[in-house]
Amino acid sequence: MTSSARHTEGMRMMNGLRETGLEITEDGKPGRPLVVLDLDELHGQSPETVTATAAAIERALPLTIGLLRTPLPPHLSPISAALTLTLTDVPGSELAYQVVTVPDIDGAIRTLDAAVARSPQAALACGQLLRQTVRLRTTAALAAEAATYSMLLGGSEFATWLAERGPARTTDQPAHDLVRSSRTDDHLTIVLDHPQRRNALSTRLREELLAAVQVAEADPSIESIEISGTGPAFCSGGDLDEFGRATDPVAAYLVRLDRAPWNVLDRIADRLVVRTHGACIGAGAEMAAFAGTVLAAPDTYFLFPEVRMGLVPGAGGTVSVPRRIGRWRAAWSMLTGEPLSAEAALRWGLVDRLTVNGD
């Protein structure tokens, strides 16, 4: 490709971004929530074109996905940084936070396209939210997440998921505490103890966890805190049988701000170790990511199912997870709902160390 042809290609892609809105239909559905850019076509672009293209991507409302089948040239880094994420099949790209390495780019695009097509409103909200939360302090970022989550509770995509789920079950609550705390010298142990529900984050368990971590925050003589879970899983996410109970989005927003432990977890992070095993889904992965140290048993897997439900992660995950793995890889995991193994989580930085036999 000649220099003139490369310039023309770069301008075409930039102008396409400028002209691409969401194409919202009368019922509020975005007709074009996803734009795919081939970064290999931008090799050799002038610094001015690269800067202008990156700026256009930053302003774009659709999710913007880059495709890269060759190593990323350093001068294209501003474009890669501006994108929602970049997919590549180039080995050795694991250290680039902006890049998700996949075995098959075409298959990965199909996966992403199908996920976004199912819940385009939630997917767009998630993509925009991740761009905001990485730039905000914790409280402001959590407020942005709570507002987005609460808004989506009243949306048609969440209503569709509720209808597909069917009637919620009524389950008996155990008489014992769902969160146990014990102190030995200057160490506080907090255990999620509802194994029958795989430690799902019900309202009651959330309140008990909040109380436990507030004690840890208030007592500076507690020098280390460990959170773990009993049974087959650390935490299987929010209690699905409680989903759909909130009828007032504003009240839901205020509850998420005032009665969630995420802010406290962030403030005690330098003293906090979270020990994960088995399913670490949704809220389980999100709260674990706040810890200064995250340990994972080999059977641990992480998964973010909220976008498929017509929501966004609502347990602080759009704040905690990008801080560990970058907003680009967070976007891939949250938009697609693809599981992340303990080994992959270690490579990405979501986990600090794998444990063997409970060490």
pLDDT at 26: 87
Q: Is the pLDDT of residue 138 over 70?
A: yes
Q: Is the pLDDT of residue 282 over 80?
A: yes
Q: What is the pLDDT of residues 76-128, one digit of tens each?
A: 999 999 999 999 998 876 657 899 999 999 999 999 999 999 999 999 999 99
Q: How far is CA 300 from the centre of its chain?
A: 17
Under a CB-based contact definition with an 8 Å cutoff, are residues 190 and 213 in contact?
A: yes
pLDDT at 8: 42
pLDDT at 18: 58
Lowest mean pLDDT, pick from 86-100, 235-249, 283-297: 86-100
Under a CB-based contact definition with an 8 Å cutoff, are residues 350 and 322 in contact?
A: no
In CATH, the number for domain 3-118 is 3.90.190
Q: Is the pLDDT of residue 222 over 60?
A: yes
pTM of the model: 0.93
Enumerate the β-bridge partners of residue 295: 275, 353
Lowest mean pLDDT, pick from 64-73, 166-175, 229-238, 270-279: 166-175
Listed by start position, the domains of the chain span 3-118, 137-354
Q: Is the pLDDT of residue 3 over 50?
A: no
pLDDT tier at 266, thresholds 50, 70, 90:
very high
The single residue listed with the structure tokens 């390495």 is: 101
Lowest mean pLDDT, pick from 18-27, 64-73, 173-182, 274-283: 18-27
The CA-to-CA distance between both ends of the chain, in Å, stands at 56
The first and second tokens of residue 246, run together, are: 């909130």
Q: How many residues does the chain have?
A: 359
Q: Is the pLDDT of residue 4 over 90?
A: no
The single residue listed with the structure tokens 């396209």 is: 113
Mean pLDDT value across residues 166-178 = 85
pLDDT tier at 1, thresholds 50, 70, 90:
very low
Q: Which of 178, 299, 280, 192 is nearest to 236 (CA)?
A: 280
In CATH, the number for domain 137-354 is 3.90.226.10
Mean pLDDT value across residues 150-173 = 90
Mean pLDDT value across residues 140-169 = 95
Q: What's the whole-number average pLDDT of the chain?
A: 92
Which helix (H) or strand (E) segment holds residue 260: the answer is none
List the Cα angle 318/338/122 in 5-degree steps. Answer: 50
Under a CB-based contact definition with an 8 Å cutoff, are residues 145 and 334 in contact?
A: no
Q: Which of 316, 306, 315 is nearest to 336 (CA)?
A: 306
Mean pLDDT value across residues 17-21 = 62
List the Cα angle 14/18/21 in 5-degree steps. Answer: 135
Under a CB-based contact definition with an 8 Å cutoff, are residues 340 and 303 in contact?
A: yes
Q: Which of 145, 120, 166, 162 is nearest to 252 (CA)?
A: 145
The single residue listed with the structure tokens 């409302």 is: 61
